[in-house]
Amino acid sequence: MTKLPLEGVRIVELTQIYAGPYASTLLADWGAELIRLETIQGIVGTTRGIYLKVPKELIEQTKLSGTAGGAIFPDWDPGDRPWNRAVSMTSTGRNKLSMTLDLLRPEGLEILGKLFAKTDVFIENNVPETIDKLKISYDWLKEINPEIIMIRMPAFGLNGPYKNYRCLGLHVDGVSGHSYNKGYVDEEPSRRGETVAADAAAGASAAFAAFTALWSRRKTGKGQLIELPLAENFIPFMSESITDFNMNNRVRSTIGNRDRRMAPHGVYQCQGEDKWMTIAVSNNDQWQSLCTIIGRTDLANDTRFKNANVRLENQNELDEIVNQWTKTQNHLEAFHEFQKAGIPAGPVLDELEALQDPHLVHRSYYETLENSELPKLQYPGPLWRMSKTPNHHKSAPPLLGEHNEYIYKEVLGLSNDEYRRLEDEGHIGMDIIEK
């Protein structure tokens, strides 16, 4: 069997929510041994769902409103160990190992030091003062292991006035300028849904940084500290707006789903309940084809729409014309019709349609995983495909502390007696200790 590129690389993570866990997921997908540091000391981190005992009313609220993500479980059943079934962990936990220890006790830090001596990369995305309090500094790490790579992913960086400010994806969107550019005309700035693009972008960047640092270490034999602030990572995605301001001192306004250079460009309602499609026309040939498809060849040479500039000036009328046609169409059938004519278009898929999309099914994109506390669930496959190293997911998200015995005994070399002592002292376990 072909070895994956990161086989033999050991990565330890102390991460929460999405950016950090997503970074490590990408690395685990490609063969790294990924160890999650967790605790049973009465603290359920956000990645495992927040709640130790999930209120029934919260689950009901989630069913009805779609909010309160910490209360989402398979079949809405938290089970006896909700921290093993929460959607947040389930979505980013594949191909990982879990160990428990108490970092608030000196012995916990001592154990961690022994693990770092055998670790290639350490990833964390906590507020800097949290890592400072735990005494997990890069200086300490490189004393233990000069070749270790430490990736830190604070919201705002390791210095500066915002250093220890708390932040979630919504706030990163705001401080990086994205929220101001999002949303519809004359409405409040918006993140537009629950998708946290800033976290995903930072996770992908961190995975790339890990690859880069590992390659550098091959040449130099030395590890290094990598600082990757979420807000700074997301600002370059605004590069055109920032450059525009530098060139013209212009602050761009929100435009909803429209484009500043082409029309029609937007999301259009289709036949059925809450069905939509996207259409973008970038040149006159595409415009001529669109007129034919919607049965309005009379518009092809209409002076209001004869070129891109006047189509932009008259896009309110244009959108109404296009929308009148799309409302009578199936969003999937119309998508194929536009694409056959060379017009960029796509259906707006809900989760079920995305899982059943025939293109993704044909490509075997989703892969099925399960463990003793999770049913069979479909997961997105590896982000890229390599011809010489075909890859598939290896394991479902780990149960809390599931791999304690392997890590403590095989990786760290503890005896059975030492292992049992740490169990008795509350470092090791698979159940949260209620306080």
Give the pLDDT of residue 411.
98
Give the pLDDT of residue 190.
66
User: N- to C-terminal Cα distance for the chain?
Assistant: 47
pTM: 0.92
CA–CA separation, 335 and 344 (whole Å):
9
222 φ, ψ (degrees, to nearest 5): -120, 145
C-alpha 86: how far from its chain's center?
16
Give the pLDDT of residue 111.
97
Cα dist. 261→282, 307, 308 in Å? 8, 11, 7
Q: What are the residue boundaries of the structural domains of the chain, listed by start?
A: 10-228+363-424, 265-269+275-349
Length of the chain: 435
Task: Give the Cα-Cα-Cα angle 75, 430, 51 (nearest 5 degrees).
Answer: 50
> Which residues in the chain land under pLDDT 50?
none
Query: Could you report the per-residue pLDDT of 20-55, keeping only the tens digit for each?
Result: 999 999 999 999 999 999 999 877 677 888 777 888
Give the pLDDT of residue 22.
96
Contact in structure between 343 and 290 (CB atoms under 8 Å): yes
Task: Give the Cα-Cα-Cα angle 174, 175, 179 (nearest 5 degrees).
Answer: 25
- Let me know if domain 10-228+363-424 sits in CATH 3.40.50.10540: yes
**Which CATH number does the domain 265-269+275-349 belong to among 3.30.1540.10, 3.40.50.150, 3.40.50.920, 3.30.1330.20?**
3.30.1540.10
CA–CA separation, 323 and 317 (whole Å):
10
